[in-house]
Structure 1
Amino acid sequence: MQSVFIVLLGIIGMLFGWFVYSKFIALRIFQMDDKYITPAHQINDGVDFVPTKKVVLWGHHFTSVAGAAPIVGPAIAVYWGWVPAVIWVVLGTIFFAGVHDMGALWASSRHKGKSIGALSEEVIGKRTRALFMIVVFLVLLMVNAVFGVVIANSFVSQPTAVLPAWAAIVFALIIGQLIRRNFNLVLLCVLGVIALYLTVYAGSEMPMALPKEMFGLSDKANWIILLFVYAAIASLLPVWVLLQPRDFINGVQLLVGLVLLYGAVFMFMPDITAPAFNSEVAESTPSIIPLLFVTIACGAVSGFHGIVSSGTSSKQLDKDTDARFVGYLGAVGEGSLALITIVAVSGVTLAMSPQEWHEVYSHLGAGSVGAFIQGGSNLIYQGWGIPAELASTLLAVMVVLFAGTTMDSGVRLQRYIIQEWGEIYQISAFRNGIIATLIAVGCCLLLAFGAGGSSGSGGMIIWPLFGSTNQILASLTLLVISVMLIKMGRPARYTLIPMLFVLVMAFLAGVLKLQEYYSAGNWLLVSLDIIVLVVCVLVMFEAWTVIKQHKQIEPSVNESTE
């Protein structure tokens, strides 16, 4: 089968989601209104709360939520077959991710920019807030600790990506100042992307690397430390100085990357060599249900998106209706990346025959980012004639910059959580931004080096929990939005149905993983998995109690009104 048909069907579905479904949800269910004054205008502290043009905010939001996940998840899940992966990505984007991301952004904006964990107190109750924030902090800890390892590994294995990755920070600082002085946004965008791609070419000619050993640590460990030092500084800067312009440039360069990849599909029209449904999986391979739905998270639906939507993006929302553009269109961008990833790792660009494809994908977990870079660079070469080595550097830089922006936002979000704890529990030290940042970074480094030794890879130890934990968080976020809608007397089925589906799949995956960890004697993962599953059950009980109470009160209110 030719990949162009998959791409066309996916694009048609996502266009329906953007032009029809998202408009219906935004106007009829969430009832967004530009007369509402957003927290960015209410508070406007010039650091975290800053009214931002929706195009610039979309760039920040998109690249913060994307990271490497919409590449990694689909590139692994293709092992079960490309058909289930494509179906989940397309339907997940339209009916799950877009509503989830837009809803979290809208709900937070209507509660003074509070994180999804903190606003759950107002929507459901105090106990829910405490439980919710445990899961949120755990997910952020996983993401930050692991993405530091992912970027460090990329710098070590792909030294050609080092120069453009760090040069992007310099360009962002310059562009941030120019945007503040009302320079033409389109011109800045063009110049910024040109400068970035010039450094991509320069990087491919001038690879850079740290010494193999320095200060008694490996090059990878030193990169991890440097990345967290940078993330700590970046998280304390006003969002307009670095976060917004860096993410905006990254968002634009991703669009360029998507144009190259999708354009190559239409010009080269590669065949799909991967099986539609893989009947030759290894004996130890877990069942596609429920594992598919936690393997592909970003690109279909992801709890981490709710943290970003309610953590940084809601504090920069200029207008209430911008939540649709930023939240739903950000999810469409992720879905588009996930879809082209499936094509890149399923077609002849990765392997010329079904047998060769099976050799690449010998087991679940094979392929991943490496398969995307290899398949994507060959696709770009076949379609556009760009040398495969240069295309490989371009895609590697894209992955690194995505992971970097997610890490930037992740550390900032951890700071928000700690500061919210300071407010809730009256701990004055936690309210201080610098102290909160040091605690956040300290927790990440403690996990990285405390659990992983001198390699700094400790985050990888608890990473197996991420899939189910992240999707449980997505279901809990949809639950908070649903309860909020029920209290407002609006239809909640558009969020409740996705919530129930994701919850069941994620909970089943968590139980299956619990059995796996128990059999392996991994008591750390057993303990953490039990905590997440118990928290999930308790939050659901709390929410059900609130819904029942509201339904009981509703008739008496109507009677008294009459």
Structure 2
Amino acid sequence: MNAIVLLVVGLAIFAGGYFVYGRYLSRRVLQLDRGFATPAHTQSDGVDFVPTNKFVLWGHHFTSVAGAAPIVGPAVAVIWGWLPAFLWVTIGTVFFAGMHDLGSLWASARNDGKSMGSLSERYIGRRGANLFLVVIFLLLLMVIAAFAVVIKNLLISTPSAVIPAWGAIPVALLVGVAIYRMKWNLIAVTIGGVAALYSLILLGDRFPVVLPEQILGMSPATFWIIALFLYAGIASLLPVWVLLQPRDYINGVQLFVGLGILFTSVLLGAPQVVAPAWNSAVPEGTPSLVPLLFVTIACGAISGFHGMVSSGTSSKQLDSEPDARFVGYFGAVGEGMLALGAIIAATAGFRTLAEWEEVYSAFNEGGVAAFVQGGGTLVNAGLGLPVSLSSTVLATMAVLFAATTMDTGVRLLRFVIQEVGEVAGVKVNNILGTVLVVVIAVALVFSQGADGSGGLTIWPLFGTTNQLLASLTLSIIAIMLIRKRSNPWPALIPLGIVFVMAFYAAIVQVGTFVTDQNWLLLALDLVIIVATVLVGIEAVQGMRRAKNAPPDGEGHPGEDASVEEAGSRPTQTP
């Protein structure tokens, strides 16, 4: 089959989701109100709470949630065939991720920008909230540690990405000053920032940076990991407008340019999908498609981490509540497009089925490497760009998105530690919280040696933990909708499906860890399972209480009616 069919059908589904289902959720289910005073205005502090242009905020939100996961997951999952991966990415994005991401952004904005951990206490109860924080803590720790290793590996394997990856930092700083201090035109700043970033990509391709065997007494792997955590710690402490927002915004635009290059290459080159639609001859040791497909592709279909970003940083920057549809739902669509690109690159970026089977000779043998290799081949064939330059563009995309997810993750985990401190009656300031995050993550990364392989120690639990967290987030959204007397089924249906698949996968992993005698992962898996079950019970009880309680009586008008109230920002609470 020609890859153009996959591309056109996939993009059509995403467009229909945003313009039809996303509009329905915004107007009829969540009833987004332009007159509602968002936390960015009511608690504006110039550091975390900053009213932000929706396009800039979308850039931050999108690149924070995207990372490397929507590339890695789909590029691994095509080992079962391109059709299951394609269906889960498209359907999951439209009906699962869209509701989850938009709903968690709305839920947090309606509650003073509080995180999902804090919201769980209000809507589920103190016991459920404490257990919720355990799941959140483990998930964020997995993301931070694993992405540091992913970035390190890419900087070593693709040295041409070093200059653009680190050069993006001063570019972002200049963009932040231009937008917020000099008040330059956003379009002009965007063009200049993207041009600077792609100039760095050309420079990096011309002058790849290969570190010596020893640098400051460290191996290249150790040096890159230390440098990444120093950067992430500093970035997480800076006001969001200084680095976080502009970096993520430029990265978001750069991603769409990169996706445009990849998709245009597909349209011009018309490559054939060499991988089977349904692979009945998977390599030995490949786990069952059900339930593993639904946790292998997390980001790119639905991801609990997105709820952490929505409620941790994005809700604090939301200028107007109706902007949540563009930031949250379209953010999910953008990630779905990235996952679609990964599927096409990993199935149509090879000349023959034999060549594809050689790469996919075992489970987890695909991933970023298959995306960069396949995507580079597609761009070379479609646009005639040198394979090395094409690979540099795609590797830089992967590094930049993993880095933005990593520094956002450090900021979010600092919030979690501060929330734990509040529960324990101990005040943890920003600096102490950040130091604790970095120390814990670095200890995990180096726990297996100086190469940083310890960062992947608990990564096998990411998929299940991430999806279980997504189901718990949807339970909070459902409780809020029940209290509003709004339709909760757009949240309840994905909640049920995701919970069943993720819980099933967690149980399957118990057997795997016992067989492998991996007692650490077994213990953590059991902790996650028990915590999730207990939080789930509390959530069901919370839904019953919400159903029997008087309605919230917010009486929000629909999106169209609220446009007439622009300029009026009364402070409202749920």
- TM-score for both structures, normalised by structure 2: 0.94
Query: In 1, Cα distance between the equivalents of 2:50 and 2:246?
Result: 13
| Count of paired positions | 551
Deviation of 1:207 after TM superposition, in Å, equals 1.1
Counterpart residue identity of residue 294, structure 2: F
3-state SS of 2:457 partner: helix
Query: In 1, Cα distance between the equivalents of 2:210 and 2:110?
Result: 47
3-state SS of 1:33 partner: coil
Match of 1:130 in 2: 130
Does the 8 Å contact 1:217/1:455 carry over to 2? no
1:190 aligns with 2:191: yes
Query: In 2, Cα distance between the equivalents of 1:323 and 1:407?
Result: 23
Deviation of 1:386 after TM superposition, in Å, equals 1.1
Deviation of 1:448 after TM superposition, in Å, equals 1.1
Match of 2:21 in 1: 21
Counterpart residue identity of residue 340, structure 2: L
Question: Superposed, which structure 2 residues align to 1:76-87 within 5 Å?
Answer: 76-87=76-87
* Runs of 5+ unmatched residues, structure 1: 558-562
> Which string of whole-angstrom CA distances, capped at 9 and with x for unpartnered residues, describes residues 406-433 of structure 1?
01101011111122223333202x1x11
Deviation of 1:209 after TM superposition, in Å, equals 2.9
State the superposition RMSD in angstroms.
Answer: 1.3
Deviation of 1:210 after TM superposition, in Å, equals 2.7
Query: In 2, Cα distance between the equivalents of 1:424 and 1:489?
Result: 31
Match of 1:389 in 2: 388
Deviation of 1:357 after TM superposition, in Å, equals 1.6
> Which string of whole-angstrom CA distances, capped at 9 and with x for unpartnered residues, describes residues 325-374 of structure 1?
00000110000111111111111x32x22222212211211121111111
Match of 1:405 in 2: 404
Query: In 1, Cα distance between the equivalents of 2:142 and 2:214?
Result: 26
1:359 aligns with 2:358: yes
Deviation of 1:547 after TM superposition, in Å, equals 2.1
* Runs of 5+ unmatched residues, structure 2: 554-574
Match of 1:525 in 2: 521
Match of 1:438 in 2: 435
1:483 aligns with 2:479: yes
Match of 1:209 in 2: 210
Deviation of 1:390 after TM superposition, in Å, equals 0.6
Does the 8 Å contact 1:377/1:388 carry over to 2? yes
Match of 1:233 in 2: 234
Does the 8 Å contact 2:483/2:550 carry over to 1? no
> Which string of whole-angstrom CA distances, capped at 9 and with x for unpartnered residues, describes residues 19-53 of structure 1?
00001001111111011100010111110010000
Counterpart residue identity of residue 502, structure 2: A
Does the 8 Å contact 2:483/2:549 carry over to 1? no
Query: In 1, Cα distance between the equivalents of 2:305 and 2:395?
Result: 23
Match of 2:570 in 1: none
Does the 8 Å contact 1:60/1:246 carry over to 2? yes
Match of 1:273 in 2: 274
Query: In 1, Cα distance between the equivalents of 2:43 and 2:101?
Result: 23
Counterpart residue identity of residue 130, structure 2: A
Does the 8 Å contact 1:69/1:298 carry over to 2? yes
Q: Which moved more, 1:540-549 or 1:465-474?
A: 540-549
Deviation of 1:458 after TM superposition, in Å, equals 1.1
Query: In 1, Cα distance between the equivalents of 2:328 and 2:439?
Result: 31
> Which string of whole-angstrom CA distances, capped at 9 and with x for unpartnered residues, describes residues 203-223 of structure 1?
111111332223543210111
User: Relative contact order (C-alpha < 8 Å, sep 6+): which is higher?
Assistant: 2
> Which string of whole-angstrom CA distances, capped at 9 and with x for unpartnered residues, describes residues 85-144 of structure 1?
000000001000111000010000011111111111111111111111111111110000
> Which string of whole-angstrom CA distances, capped at 9 and with x for unpartnered residues, describes residues 386-418 of structure 1?
111111111111100000100110101111112
Question: Superposed, which structure 2 residues align to 1:160-199 within 5 Å?
Answer: 160-180=160-180, 181-199=182-200
Q: Percent identity?
A: 54
Match of 1:535 among 517, 531, 538: 531
Query: In 2, Cα distance between the equivalents of 1:317 and 1:393?
Result: 34
Counterpart residue identity of residue 257, structure 2: V
Deviation of 1:251 after TM superposition, in Å, equals 0.4
Deviation of 1:324 after TM superposition, in Å, equals 0.6
Match of 1:253 in 2: 254
> Which string of whole-angstrom CA distances, capped at 9 and with x for unpartnered residues, describes residues 307-330 of structure 1?
001001011000011111000001
Does the 8 Å contact 1:17/1:94 carry over to 2? yes
Query: In 1, Cα distance between the equivalents of 2:218 and 2:454?
Result: 15
Match of 1:424 in 2: 423
Query: In 1, Cα distance between the equivalents of 2:409 and 2:213?
Result: 28
3-state SS of 1:217 partner: coil
Does the 8 Å contact 1:143/1:410 carry over to 2? yes
Deviation of 1:545 after TM superposition, in Å, equals 1.5
Counterpart residue identity of residue 368, structure 2: V
3-state SS of 1:239 partner: coil
Does the 8 Å contact 1:14/1:332 carry over to 2? yes
Does the 8 Å contact 2:474/2:492 carry over to 1? yes
Does the 8 Å contact 1:204/1:390 carry over to 2? yes
